[in-house]
Amino acid sequence: MLPLEGITVVSLEQAVAAPFATRQLADLGARVIKVERPGVGDFARNYDKTVKGMASHFVWINRSKESLALDLKQEEAREVLHKLLEEADVFLHNLAPGAVDRLGFSAAELKATYPKLIICSISGYGTFGPYTNKKAYDLLIQCEAGLVSVTGTEDTPSKAGISIADIAAGMYAYTGVLTAIISRYKTGKGAIIEVSMLEALAEWMGYPLYYSAYGENEPPRTGASHATIYPYGPFKAGDGKMVFMGIQNEREWGEFCETVLSNPELASDPLFNSNSQRVVNKTALKNIIEDVFQAMDSEQVIERLELSRIASARLNTMNELVDHPQLAARNRWREVDSPVGKLKALIPPVTSDEVDTVMNPIPEVGEHTNSILSELGFSEEQIIKLTT
C-alpha cells in the first residue's frame, strides 16, 4: 500500500508553488484533483512549448494528477467543489489573497463545514500585514528575502536560476500537509495551514541572516566562491574548463598543498596558514593555484583532487546532468505518459525499498471532468450543462 493511498487532495493551483506541493503528495499515492479553468487551464501550461509542445514547468510538476475543468464563477461549479470537499482530506490553493474567500471557500467557512479537512494556502506574503496584496513573483520574493543581495558577483547581483522561492514554499506546504495528516490521526481534527513564499525563503536565508545580524558586515557577493572560506569555488585549468573545489579544514589544506600543488611548504606560509589568512590573501593564492592548474587539463586536476580526497566537481550543463553517470548508475530515470507521448522523468529524491513511487500521466485540461462528475453522482444532462 502506498503511504498516502486513500488520501484525496483537491487543489486550486497554478504556476509552481502549489503544483510542486501536490505533485509530491501524488508521488506517494494521494489522489490529486487539480481544478483548472475550462479551456486554458493552469496558465503555467503556456509558459513555453519546449517539451514536445508542452511547457517545461508544467511537465515537471503535474504528473499523476486528475484535471477537473470548472468555472468557479458559476454557482453550479461551486457546488461541485463543495461535493468534492465533503469527501476530501486536503484542500490546497495558491490563488491571489482573498480570491477563495470571495468564492465562498474561506478557511474559516471550510473549517466550520468540514472539521476534518486540512486547508492549506500558499501566498507571497501571507494573509495579513502591509505586503498582503503586493504581487509576489519568484524574482521579487528573492529580492525581498535578500537572496539576490548575496548571489552573483561583486558587481552584479543575480537571482537563482530556478524558482527557488516557489519551491521553498511548495516544500513547506508539502511537509505541513503531511504533518497535519499525522496529527489528524491522533486528534481527528483538520487544520488550517498557511505558507508564505517570503517566510519560506527567509528561513533558507538563515546563515547570511545571522552572519549579518550579529556580525559587523553583510556577506559579500562572491559569485561561485564562498564569502568566508578559501580556497572554495571555481579555478581554471589548462584546457580552459573550470574546476570547482572546496577546502574545509587545515588537514585538507596541507594535503592540497602537498599532493595537488606539489608545494608542501605553502601550507605553513604565514600568508596562508589559516583560513582567515587565506581569505584575506585570496587573490595571491588564486594566482598560485591557477599557475599550477595551467599545466594540467581539468580531468588531471580532478584526478589529483580525488587522490587527495578534496571535494571537487565539474561544471555540468543541463544536458550533462541528463546523462550524469551517477543518476544512470542509480536508475533514477523513468518515463511518464503525457498528451504528447512518453517523457523522461526523475523519480523523487526520497526513495524507499518498500514504496514504489507513483509516476502516472500528465493530464490535459479537463481530461477527468466527466469521470469525476459521474463519480459525484451528476447525470449526463447535468454534466453537459456544466461542461458546455
Show which residues are catalytic. Answer: 226
Question: How far, CA to CA in Å, does 68 sit from each of 37, 38, 199, 217?
Answer: 8, 8, 31, 52
Task: For residue 302, report the phi and psi dihedrals to the nearest 5 degrees.
Answer: -65, -35
Question: How far, CA to CA in Å, does 69 sit from each of 78, 180, 288, 386?
Answer: 12, 28, 63, 9
Contact 136, 195 (CB under 8 A): no
- The single-letter DSSP state of residue 150 is G
DSSP labels, 53-107 = TB-HHHHHH-TTEEEEE--TTSHHHHHHHHHHHHH-SEEEE-PSTTHHHHTT--H
**Amino acid at site 377:** G
**Beta-strand relationship, 90-93 and 118-123:** parallel
Residue listed under C-alpha cell 461535493:
83
Q: Is the CA virtual torsion 142, 143, 149, 152 positive or negative?
A: positive
Instruction: Return the half-sphere exposure (C-beta side, CA atoms, 13 A cut-off) of residue 87.
Output: 11
Instruction: Write b or e for each residue in 179-218: b if 16 or more Cβ atoms lie within 10 A of its Cβ, otherwise e.
Output: ebbeebeeeeebbebbbbbbbbbbebbeebbebbeeeeee
